[in-house]
Structure 1
């Protein structure tokens, strides 16, 4: 072997060792909820009714009416299509929105950690728009719905496995004050 070949092999070996030693940083806490939403806030307004009662039209009322996970629809890898199960969830959301015509929502699009930041932001946007378009197609006024993509920046589940990824490929509906 020539000196050049030996140097290349050594460089390749060192590079491989460095890359292999670089692992992903474990995320300990999730980022905060978006501003202007009441997602994750206290479920009561002490001035509205008695303490402990859920305020009508709030995110907690929304979750109570549409079900524990009725605020989100899940997607397959690299997909943004609305399947029959998603349609049923979005129909329940539309029924709730019909009860509160003054309430506006934001549909957040999310992706799992795989892929580039730009790709996941675009995929999250397509997911949020798919949910919005379906809601509009069944009668929700488009002016009441905003969309935002967080890509992979706001995971719902921490971890680097299929179970966590499946929970993070989603569109979440959040009420806006």
Structure 2
């Protein structure tokens, strides 16, 4: 009998002790109005999360690259200039430049090539007047293809720099 009483007292002490160690999320749940739901920001995203790959952001375009290339040709520079104009019209927007590759080559090689592509685009945008702190880069290598298959058309779609805006 004494054991059961001692066990009960220890259990109560633990419950009381844990009550004092609430996290902020625990406290938020307790202060929620009875029968209410938590406040969630339900405002729509300002931009398509696929960025320029979606084709739904007027004035922002994906830049294409040749096979095994990270250098910018005349078409790439024209597309980047279009994106620079877009960024100048949206001065509070930051952009992540994603470097992508086709599915040929090793993972390591394609990640490095995607990084060179993204950095080449960023450097050119900075030379056209976009502050470097408004641009970030990431390489996905061959991990996020737009097109599947082993044709030149699929390869060409996947060799790109995608622009994903964020406010």
Coarse TM-score class (shorter-chain normalised) = 0.5 to 0.7
2:99 counterpart residue number: 109
Correspondence for 1:127 among 99, 110, 117: 117
Correspondence for 2:58 among 58, 65, 72: 65
**How far apart are the structure 2 equivalents of 1:92 and 1:73?**
10
1:137 shift after superposition: 0.5
- In 2, are the aligned partners of 1:71 and 1:174 still within 8 Å (CA)? no
Query: Paired residues, what number?
Result: 123
2:151 counterpart residue number: 161
TM-score by length of 2: 0.67
TM-score by length of 1: 0.63
Instruction: Extract structure 1 runs of 4+ deviating beyond 2 A.
Output: 45-48, 58-65
**TM alignment of 1:13-52, pairs within 5 A:** none
1:36 counterpart residue number: none
Question: Is 1:141 the equivalent of 2:128?
Answer: no
Structure 1 residue matching 2:98: 3-state secondary structure? strand
Q: What 5-or-longer segments of structure 1 have no aligned partner?
A: 1-44, 49-53
Q: What 5-or-longer segments of structure 2 have no aligned partner?
A: 1-40
Cα RMSD after superposing both structures? 2.3
Question: Is 1:96 the equivalent of 2:70?
Answer: no
- In 1, are the aligned partners of 2:61 and 2:82 still within 8 Å (CA)? no
Question: Is 1:74 the equivalent of 2:74?
Answer: no
Q: Which has the larger radius of gyration?
A: 2
1:47 shift after superposition: 5.5
- In 1, are the aligned partners of 2:99 and 2:138 still within 8 Å (CA)? yes
**How far apart are the structure 1 equivalents of 2:48 and 2:91?**
14
1:132 shift after superposition: 0.5
1:64 shift after superposition: 4.0
1:138 shift after superposition: 0.2
